[in-house]
Structure formats: C-alpha cells, structure tokens
Amino acid sequence: MIFTDVPVINQPTIVLADVSQLPPVEQNPKFKIFAVGINVGERRNVIDSALVRGLEDGSQAIDFDNWLMPFNDVIKALKFTVKTLDDGQLELRNVGLVTRINPKNLTTDSQLGLVLSIADIKKLFGISAEFDIAQYAINFKPPWNNISSQNQIRQTELPVILDGLPKIKPSPFTFSSIGQQINITGSSTQSSNNINTQGTLSAVGTIFDGSWFLQTNQSDFTDSRTWKLSEIQYLRQTKYNDLVIGKQPTFWQSQGNGDYFGLTTVKRFGFNSEKQFSGGFNPSQSLQGGGVQRSILGKAEPGTLVRLTQGFQDNVIAEILVNSSGIYRFENLPITTSIGGNYRVLLYPQGQLTAQPKIEEARFLNLPGQLTKGTSALIFSAGTNREYTNNNFLGNFNNFKIGIGYRLGVTEDLTLGTGLIYDQSFLQLAELFYQPAKIPIQMRVSSLFGQKNKAFDYNANINYQPSSSLNINLNSDMLSQRFQVNSTIFPGLNISFSGDNQKDSIAGGFSYSQSSRNFYSFISADIDTKNNWRWNLNSSWHNLQLSHLANEISSTSELRYNFSGFGSNNGHSLTVGYDTNNSNNHQDELLKFGWNYKSKTQTYDYRYLWQFNLGYGIGSRGSGIIISASTGIIPGLRFSGIYEDISLLSDNSRFRIEISPSINLAPYLGLGDSQFDNLRSQGGIFIQPFLDINNNGKLDKNEKIYTQYLDLLLKLNNQQIRAFSNSLPDIHGNGIFLKVPPGDYRLDLDPAGYPLNNKPVNDAYAIHVVAGGYTPVIIPFIQSYTVAGKVTNQKGEAVVGARVEAINSKTGKVFFSITNGAGIFYIEELPQGHYDFKIYGKPAQPSTLEITPNSQSLIEMNLQLNPDTQIDKK
C-alpha cells in the first residue's frame, strides 16, 4: 500500500538540541512512503507496521540501499538503548554491539523525521538487510542474534541501607566462652610408669566495643602453683583505627627475650585493613590493606570496545568505547590475594561483540605491605618485656620499649616506611615495598639500624614472575641468603632449584601429576649437592591408595583399600604400612596392619563425628597393638586418644588423651564452639527465629526455634548467609550462630522462607557486631489469619464492591477488602486480637471477632449489611 500524504512522525525517544539544523536527505523523487513489517533474525514482526520511504515494483525492492527508515524504529527493532554523552554524541548499546553516532551526521526526512538509510544501517551496525516482498517486511540479520545476556556488565552490589531499621546492639560487657584443654600423656617401661597432665585454660568476651582474651598455661594441671598467665589482650579494630592492650607482637624485630606486653594504636588514612578471621592482633595485617588499587592504561583504534573482565568466568566489570584519542583507562582496580583476582582486557573492533576479541592479560601480584598511592598508616606502641619465672603467675616485667612508625604509598608502584624505636637502644626502621606496573617483580626490604655497637638487622625479599610458568624468589637476612626457582615445563610437570649459603648446598628436583576419571598420581623428588635426597609419591586407582615418603634417613609407606571408592576419604578402609629409620647406626623397621573408619558426617567446622583406627605392628623393636579414636559428636567437646604398644623407635607402651571442652556463657549457657578463640578478632550474630504463639514478642519455653529454609529466609547485606560468611552457620536447637567480622550489618527476612501462615513483626534489622561475642537477634513470627465470607443485604442478595473493614480494637489498625462480583471478601494477614467489622463504615452483622491461638488459620465469617447502611450507588 502506498501513502502519498503522511504527517511528520514525532520522535519521542531521541532528544537533540536542534533537529531543524540537521541536513535533509537527498531523496529519490520516485520514492513513496508506505508501511512494512520489520523482522530481526528468526523473530517475526518485531514491528508490525513501520513507515519507510522507498519503492518496489511488485516483485522486488528498487534501490533498496537508499530506502529511508525512521531512526526510532531502527533503535526499537534492534533493541538498542540510547544515551546522550557529554560531548553530544549518542551511545547505542545492545547485547551484541556498542557504538557511537554523531547526531550531526544524521539526516532528516520532511515526513519521517530523523532517518537512517539501509546503507547507513549496514555500515553503522554491521548487519545485513533485505526486503521480502512475500512477507512485505524488511529482514535484519544481526550477527549478535544468538548471543546470550551473559556478556552484559556485572551489576554492582546493592547498597546496604541501615537508616530507618530497628537497631540491635550487643551488651557492653559479655563473658562469651570459656574452654579447657587437657593433655594426658603416659609411658610405661619395665622399671617405671610416667604420667603427665598439662592444660590450657582460655576465655573470651567483649568490653568497650572490643574483645578481651585470657589464656593460662597449666604445665601441671594438678598443681595450680605451676599455672602461669600465658596471654591477656584487649583488641578493638574498626575501619580506620586499631587499639590493642596486653600481650602482642611488636611491629619491629624485637630485641631481647620474653614476650612483649604493651599498648599499640594504629591509624589508617584512606584504606581499610585486611580482615582477620582468627587469632589476635597482627601488626603486619593491621598496616596493610585488603588490596592495593592499580590502573590499566592502553591504546586501541577509535571505536574499539574495551572490556575489563575478572576471575575464572571472565565476569565483565567495566567497559569503555575508545574515542578519537585512541586511549583507554580503567582506574582504582583492587588487587587482592583472592583466587581469580587477575584481570583481562578484551578489545572488540568497531564495538562488535560477535567479533573475536584481542585479549591482553593484566596480571598483578599483591605485595603484602604495599599501599595505594596517597594512603598511609601510623602506628605507635609502648610496653615492656615479660619473662616467665618459677612460682610467679604474672612473670617479671622489665626493659621498657617504645616505637612509632609511618608507612606511605608514595606512588602506584612504591611504598616507603620509616620509624624510630627504643628497644635497649635507639633504632631506626626503614621499609621499602616496590612493585612496578610494567615489570612482574616484587621487592620488600625491612631494616633496623642501631647506634649501639653499630647494630644492623635486615630482611630482603625479591620475587620475579615473568610468566605464570616461571617464578624466581631471592631472600636474604643476617643469617643466610637463599634462592628458589620454580618452573612449569608443561601442565603437570614442574621443576625447581633452590639454594642456601648457610647449608652450603644447592638442590634440584621435579614434580609430576596426572589424573583421569578413576586414577590420580603425584610424584616429586629432589637431591642436593651433599647427596641428600627426598621423594614423595601419592597415587589412587579405583579403591586403592598408595603413599610413599622417603629421604636419606627414613621412609614411610602405606597401601590403603577404601571401601567407599575412588577419591573418598571417609568410610571403612584397610591399610598396610611399612616405616624405616636409619640413624645412629641403627636400622629400625615397623610393619603395620590396620582398619580405619571415618564417618561421612562432619561437624560445621569440618571435624569427623567419629574416627577410629585399630591396628597391629611388628618391627625391630617388638610387636603390639595400635589404637586411636576421636569424636566430635558432642558439640563443644573435642576428644581424641591413642594407645601404642609399639612404635618405630621404641618398645615402650605409650598413650595420649586430649579432652577439650568449651562452654558458651553468652548469649546463652550451653555447650560451646571448639574454635571459640576465633572470636578474638571476629564477632558474630546469634539469630533466633521463633513462632510466637502467644504474640508477646518473647521467646517462651513452649515456643520453638524455626530453622527451616534458612537459605531462603535470611539475607545478610543482600547476600545469603552461607555465601556471606567465611564460616558456615552453626545451627543449634537454640538458634543460629554466624561468625562475621566486626561492623554494621543489615539482616533481611525473605517471605520465601516464612513459616506457613506466619509473618515477622519486622522484616529487616540493623545489627552492630563487636569482636569477642555474638549480637543476639530475636525474630518473633506471629501467626497470621485470613477471614473470608460473603456480604449480603437484608434480602440475602450479594453486595458487590462493598468495602469490608476489620479494625483491631487494641491498635486501631485497619485491614480491608472489597467484595467481588459474588459478594465474597478476603481479609488476609490478620494477627491475633479482637476485631470490629464494618461495611461502608457502619457496623456489620455480626460486628466483632476474637482471633485466639486456637483459631483456624482460615476463618469463615459471613456478614450482613446493617439496615441503616447507605450504599453509595456510584
């Protein structure tokens, strides 16, 4: 169909400064305006009817390349998004192409408005086009038609918003956990029996927004006079500041003997420290960030789409369309030690994502201690040495020490540190961390200069990694100089060389590994210039496992048959072992036979619930049984024991028993966590979702903790709790323990995990976590009810469109529903309580309802209009 008089098409999508200034297109005087369909690939009628200016003779298109199409229809059909840039250019983006158009190069048609010719479409977007006279449609065939959306840029993480949420804080002081480790060892000879009992008593808690930790060393558990204070420490770590009081390491190479007790404070400027997941204060980690920031700069042809990817799956994190300068830059990229942290740069010519990109590696190494340019850290410490003495619980304190240090990211490549210290004499500290962007080398040097006796101490390390298959490491200090070279010849085969001038030897060796479906093998061997050799073999084939370790003095071999199959480390197995030792001109041998069992189930901290070993040994020292067992079946209790009648080097009977109970004192009294000392640098959240039967907001004895569908129910900082934390949640009958670093968190409740017919009082919380303990979060779920029924008038006729209200007598909250065409209403999510029912604002008949814990979740209740009710006919 041909249109000869068509109004000008409005262009609502693209807004240009002045369309009238664009040049009109030179038109073929024979061209007419008519409507066609638009198909894209296999998708038909993407646009059912689009106006074009062109000509056809009933069998084919005439001068098809010069046909004109409205710009907006082309954008819509090819699914482009359009963005106006600061320089006035239009950036067009879809799943397969990113390009820019200068609007000054576009043309207009007096009736179609802003237009593109078919030739322009082919050139700008790199697609083919044809006119199908049978379908009376233009067919576009873009090369990206089958590309999935995986190529799209990874969305940034959702911001964590805490404003307006109920705030939950921990107690100002808690005694979180206490643990006792007891080791009982004994041996028996023909002349005597010896039994020793040693122990360690530890406790952890919170105070003043930080953690406290206490540990006592019990060299003789049965004699309290031998007990000594091993460690006491207060630790408070925040985003930019750290404070530690008590036993701790110094930030310099300590002079003299004994432990260091003192006060240390750290101030970071412009960066956060690396998160610690266990242990106490570490000045090295406190002074370094979780990763430095680097820039990637390069050149490419204008119009090239440059994408930055990260990780094993090449997640796209940023992209740039190169402008006329021919330069691209990605700034402030975090370089961390995490696996998959390397970056790759993908260059797509002319923005065509269907083209084969040019790939450039952007590999950076994280140098511990290096800071981002412009960031810095200041550390101050003062204290004394502490030495153990007999019959003195605290020990003797002497030798006052004090020091101050400063570290600065001078450039993107260079970090320098300096310090002044008094430790028996005045010392000067100098540090250098160097990692150039263009050369794969790392250099770390630390030195202490002293005035007394011209003291000098240093430690230097240089690491050179020209490729992923070659690494060279040089290390030097006051004691020795060492080197290590590792190279991958081909996948599975590695060679290495090492040397140490203190040992006056050089060693060389290799390692080789190979695996298939039911087979795995690893072998390594090395020998030094003093003819000392070592080798190691580990191999598995179906149910058989072979291990062999040997050097010039001793060897250990074991053949295992595992009834659970290839690659399994649990279940029942039978073993045969053979050990040798050749020292002090005496050759010892021991042949062992045994049965082993490891339970398939493990605790949340990856300990086997049950582990047994029963064996018998025959050797040069005699023969006898070998028995061992351990269990983690009881939460908060570690137990292991071993008894030997014979060993490789002795015929004495020996036994060892380890018992390690721990008890939670907060947030509730009960069996504890075997790794509770990790709370020194971590905190946690104790979550108690429960069904609040009596609707009082408190966890009563007869109310149960709800632990089903936790992955669906709980989200922490917009992530599932199992993905967020470094450790798995520990689920008890009393609640869920989740260890997280200190800080502020948002806990959301997802309706997908709600208990049936229940809803929480609040669906999100702001939680403050402090190291040393758990912040308790009580989440009551109240049962919700639905009231449904039919509304009729005095004649029994259904009332359509009536507003039915249920008003809580205590809170005044109004729940309502509008009746449907049959007069039926549904009022949902009603909590327990007394309700007044109204229709059109007038009391209904009946007018009240009491919902109790004994009520059904669905309550049927028919209502009748009050005779005085006036119905609004509108």
Q: For 212-227, give one letter per residue: b (16+ CB within 10 A) or e.
A: bbbbbebeebeeeeeb
Q: What is the DSSP pairing of strand 863-864 with strand 785-792?
A: parallel
Domain ranges for the chain, please list them. 2-147, 172-199+554-678, 292-362, 682-783, 785-864
Report residue 824 as tokens.
Answer: 């039926």
Residues 455-484: pLDDT tens digits? 678 889 999 988 878 999 999 988 889 999
11-15, 63-67, 219-223, 561-565: the lowest-pLDDT one = 11-15
- Which residues 6+ apart lie within 8 Å of 780 measured at CB? 690, 692, 697, 698, 699, 760, 761
What is the sign, positive or negative, of the torsion defined by CA atoms of 133, 135, 140, 144? negative
Q: What mean pLDDT do residues 416-441 have?
A: 90
H or E segment and range at residue 457? strand 456-467
Q: What is the pLDDT of residue 648?
A: 87
Q: What is the pLDDT of residue 779?
A: 93
Confidence check: pLDDT of 637 > 70: yes
Helices H / strands E in the chain, number of each: 5, 62
Q: What is the pLDDT of residue 148?
A: 54
Superfamily of the domain at 682-783: Immunoglobulins (2.60.40.10)
The CA-to-CA distance between both ends of the chain, in Å, stands at 48
Q: What is the pLDDT of residue 764?
A: 92
85-89, 302-306, 415-419, 572-576: the lowest-pLDDT one = 85-89
Confidence check: pLDDT of 691 > 60: yes
Q: What mean pLDDT do residues 796-824 have?
A: 91
Residues 292-321: pLDDT tens digits? 666 777 788 888 888 887 755 566 777 888
Confidence check: pLDDT of 592 > 50: yes
Residues 486-510: pLDDT tens digits? 999 988 899 999 999 888 889 999 9
Q: What is the pLDDT of residue 339?
A: 40
Q: What is the pLDDT of residue 208?
A: 92
Cβ atoms within 10 Å, residue 478: 9
Instruction: From 442, 408, 446, 440, select the one nearest 427 (Cα to Cα).
Output: 446
Confidence check: pLDDT of 242 > 60: yes
- Which residues 6+ apart lie within 8 Å of 224 measured at CB? none
Q: What is the pLDDT of residue 131?
A: 92
Q: Provide the percentage of residues in the chain whose pLDDT is more than 90.
A: 38
Q: What mean pLDDT do residues 729-734 have?
A: 78
Q: How far is CA 384 from CA 230, 349, 378, in A?
A: 15, 65, 21
Confidence check: pLDDT of 233 > 60: yes
Residues 545-586: pLDDT tens digits? 999 999 888 999 999 999 988 777 788 999 999 999 988 778
- Coil, helix or strand at residue 640: strand
Angle at alpha carbon of residue 409, lines to 297 and 269, rounded to 5°: 115
Q: How far is CA 704 from CA 553, 734, 757, in A?
A: 61, 9, 15
Q: What is the pLDDT of residue 14?
A: 43
Q: Considering only the C-alpha atoms of the chain, give the largest distance between any 2 of them, rounded to a whole number of Å.
A: 121
Give residue 7's pLDDT band: very low, low, confident or very high (50, 70, 90). Answer: very low
* Tally of CA atoms within 13 A in the half-sphere of 111 that contains its CB: 15
Give residue 175's pLDDT band: very low, low, confident or very high (50, 70, 90). Answer: very high
Q: What mean pLDDT do residues 329-341 have?
A: 60
The DSSP 8-state label assigned to residue 129 in this structure reads E
Confidence check: pLDDT of 4 > 60: no
Give residue 537's pLDDT band: very low, low, confident or very high (50, 70, 90). Answer: very high
Q: What is the pLDDT of residue 455?
A: 66
Q: What mean pLDDT do residues 380-389 have?
A: 90
How many whole angstroms separate alpha carbon 408 and alpha carbon 140? 58
Q: What is the pLDDT of residue 335?
A: 64
How many whole angstroms separate alpha carbon 75 and alpha carbon 14? 10
- Coil, helix or strand at residue 73: helix
The DSSP 8-state label assigned to residue 275 in this structure reads P
Q: 666 and 173 in contact (C-beta within 8 Å)?
A: no
How many whole angstroms separate alpha carbon 816 and alpha carbon 797? 21
- Coil, helix or strand at residue 677: helix
Question: What residue type is 251 in one-letter code?
Answer: F
The DSSP 8-state label assigned to residue 724 in this structure reads H
Q: What is the pLDDT of residue 13?
A: 42
Question: What residue type is 185 in one-letter code?
Answer: T
Instruction: From 366, 411, 409, select the one nearest 270 (Cα to Cα).
Output: 409
Report residue 416 as tokens.
Answer: 């320098």
Provide φ and ψ at 370, rounded to 5°: -75, 140
- Coil, helix or strand at residue 125: helix
Q: 71 and 106 in contact (C-beta within 8 Å)?
A: yes
What is the DSSP code string of 353-401?
A: TTSPPEEEEE-----TT---TT-EEEEEEEEEEEEEETTEEEEEEEEEE
Q: What mean pLDDT do residues 352-366 have?
A: 71
H or E segment and range at residue 406? strand 392-409
Residue of 573 and 150 predicted with greater confidence:
573
Give residue 381's pLDDT band: very low, low, confident or very high (50, 70, 90). Answer: very high
Residues 185-222: pLDDT tens digits? 998 876 677 889 999 999 999 999 999 999 999 988 98
How many whole angstroms separate alpha carbon 608 and alpha carbon 569? 11
- Which residues 6+ apart lie within 8 Å of 64 measured at CB? 54, 118, 129, 130, 131
Q: What mean pLDDT do residues 856-861 have?
A: 91
Q: What is the pLDDT of residue 770?
A: 94
Q: What is the pLDDT of residue 841?
A: 87
Confidence check: pLDDT of 241 > 70: yes
22-36, 211-225, 333-347, 473-487: the lowest-pLDDT one = 333-347
Q: What is the DSSP pairing of strand 714-716 with strand 743-749?
A: antiparallel
How many whole angstroms separate alpha carbon 852 and alpha carbon 783? 10
Instruction: From 4, 132, 114, select the one nearest 64 (Cα to Cα).
Output: 132
Q: What is the pLDDT of residue 212?
A: 95
Question: Identical fold at 292-362 and 785-864?
Answer: yes
Q: What is the pLDDT of residue 1?
A: 35
Q: For the domain bounded by 292-362, which CATH number is listed?
A: 2.60.40
How many whole angstroms separate alpha carbon 863 and alpha carbon 798? 10
How many whole angstroms separate alpha carbon 131 and alpha carbon 115? 18
At the top level of CATH, the class of 785-864 is mainly beta
Residues 115-133: pLDDT tens digits? 899 998 988 888 889 998 8
Prior bond to 667 cis, omega within 30? yes
Residues 131-146: pLDDT tens digits? 988 888 999 988 877 6
The DSSP 8-state label assigned to residue 437 in this structure reads S
What is the sign, positive or negative, of the torsion defined by CA atoms of 736, 741, 746, 750? negative
Residues counted in the chain: 874
- Which residues 6+ apart lie within 8 Å of 873 measured at CB? none
317-326, 391-400, 624-633, 723-732: the lowest-pLDDT one = 723-732
Mean pLDDT, the chain, integer: 85
Residue of 43 and 307 predicted with greater confidence:
307
Instruction: From 100, 80, 79, select the one nearest 90 (Cα to Cα).
Output: 100
Report residue 199 as tokens.
Answer: 């122990």
- Coil, helix or strand at residue 172: coil
Q: What is the pLDDT of residue 627?
A: 95
How many whole angstroms separate alpha carbon 857 and alpha carbon 679? 43
Q: What is the pLDDT of residue 90?
A: 83
